[in-house]
Amino acid sequence: MSWYENAIIYHIYPLGFCGAPKFNEGGAPVRRLEKVLDWIPHFQEMNVDAVYFGPVFESVEHGYDTIDYKKIDNRLGDNEMFRNICEKLHEAGIRVILDGVFNHVGRKFWAFTDIQQNGQGSPYCGWFQNLNFGGPSPCGDPFWYEGWNGHYNLVKLNLQNPDVCNYLLDAVNYWMDEFHIDGIRFDAADCIDFNFFKRIRSFCKGKNPEFWLMGEIIHGDYNRWANPEMLDSVTNYECYKGIYSSHNDKNFFEIDYSINRQSGANGGIYRNIRLYNFVDNHDVNRLASTVNHPQYLFTAYTLLYCMPGIPSIYYGSEYGIEGRKENNSDDNLRPCLELSQMDANSAIYQHIVKLGRIYRAYPALRTGSYHTLTIRNRQMLFSKELDNQTVYVALNLDDQPCDLQFGTHYGALADVIGGGSIHIDNGTAYLHLEPYASMIIVEDDIVNLQPEQAEAPQEQPQEIREGQRYRHFKGGEYTILSLATHSETLEEMVVYRSDADGSTWVRPKTMFQQYVGDTPRFTLLD
């Protein structure tokens, strides 16, 4: 099984993430993207396997109007800087995915400017789709060409021209050889020639059989693009819509239908594909601005991590930040973020961190077969099964508690999200879910009973006492108020106060004492 079939992906839109100028005015490179190095412990805490960088190649404006396929955009930095970023991510066990915008280029792309200068005498007239000299373009050129989706600042490439294909393969080869990238996401994959995909698959898999090929597909039969001859995966826009609308409409039947249609154990049409799942990205409104109730974020992310496919997180959404398209602009979806400004104690962030740990711990959750057990408008119960392991997932999006039950062959079960045990009587498990709650139910709760620091020899943690001050690995400083005991699970809890704003927080003692990579989550100050 390839690495990406078990992966958690983190998606960054670099030009926005770095606060780069809107237009590329040239000049010396500014190494803005280097700040991603400070985020590596953050990725590790989230159990991220790969960072998918949106466009990083030199472009005119937003990254999808490429100027040079072998050069990092000077608003982000330079190639040597990016080589170091790739090396540091790889050293941390995190793979690198790049955005391949191979359907179209910007108007400053070198082959297009050659035509502007030399007209019909240019050797590159065959490089662009439907280019002819029978009339002017909407941009004032003395020739006409096809723009992607009617946008004439995006000049469509002719991917049936062997020279164009050879040029793009050479660019891919450069990033594979020099930067050891681990995959490509193909922009506007529905517009790209199938023969090009077949050729690029043969080329990339020949160099690295584990290289991941994922395409952006909005509509259509995903099998047309994701198959043994072309791509490994495509974007799952069907379930993207299904996740938020099933919450807003209080209709879990919608998303359950889509999952079963796609990947159900009894005949899903995409059972052989690990689809790329998401709840938001650089093109659509943030989830926190889409759902009708903020508590829906918790059940939506539980579903994202537990449904068949590859879960991905769009940068900043792990903190529940909002963002909507306004005035036909995507800028609000692509903000500049500084890790120091993010709230490491936010409930949705801690929920997603725990989901990452759970996802890593249970193979059935990652690649097991999907079975619907109970489906109601406001409740959903399903299982994931692989070999001898079964994981149960229960969701309640109602504002009232609910009770569910299901048959099980296990004699003991636990909710790995909350840490409590499940009542079982004569082969029937009985669940009580609080409003807006979710459970992931397993036989062996290795997540809560075996904290991460036990996996490797690390320094024995200090005994935690009232009045001690600690620094979180992301910079915040806190004072211990007390130790407490969870009333349901009897788990030891740490109660602590932010020195910056006086807010009070609670987290399990085992989690408080964990390491993130080789760094303690909290370091004693005095």
Q: Kindly write down the DSSP assignment for every residue of 460-503, as one continuous string.
A: PPPPP-TT-EEEETTS-EEEEEEEEE-TTT--EEEEEEETTT--
Q: What is the pLDDT of residue 489?
A: 56
Element (H, E) at 11: strand 9-12
Q: What is the pLDDT of residue 518?
A: 66
Q: What is the pLDDT of residue 493?
A: 85
Domain with residues 104-158, CATH architecture: Alpha-Beta Complex (3.90)
Q: What is the pLDDT of residue 517?
A: 60
Share of the chain above pLDDT 70, in %: 96
Element (H, E) at 301: helix 296-306
Share of the chain above pLDDT 90, in %: 87
Burial of 128 (0-12, 13-18, 19+ CB in 10 A): buried
Please say if the pLDDT value at position 458 is more than 90.
Answer: no
Please say if the pLDDT value at position 54 is more than 90.
Answer: yes
Query: Is domain 365-447 annotated with CATH 3.20.20.70?
Result: no
Please say if the pLDDT value at position 439 is more than 60.
Answer: yes
> pTM of the full predicted structure?
0.87
The domain made up of 460-524 has a fold known as SH3 type barrels. (2.30.30)
Asked if residue 256 lies in contact with residue 247, where contact means CB atoms within 8 angstroms, the answer is no
Which tokens belong to 69? Answer: 């396929």
Please say if the pLDDT value at position 456 is more than 50.
Answer: no
Q: Where are the domains of the chain?
A: 104-158, 365-447, 460-524
Mean pLDDT of the chain: 94
Q: What is the pLDDT of residue 453?
A: 39
Q: How confident is the model at residue 175 (pLDDT cuts 50, 70, 90)?
A: very high
Q: How far is CA 57 from the centre of its chain?
A: 20
Q: How far is CA 513 from the centre of its chain?
A: 27
Give tens-digit pLDDT for 91-104. 999 999 999 999 99
Please say if the pLDDT value at position 452 is more than 50.
Answer: no
Could you give the angle at the alpha carbon of 84 between the alpha carbons of 310 and 22, nearest 5°?
Answer: 75
Give tens-digit pLDDT for 311-342. 999 999 999 999 999 999 999 999 999 999 89
* Interval 458-477 mean pLDDT: 81
Give tens-digit pLDDT for 240-281. 999 999 999 999 999 999 999 999 988 899 999 999 999 999
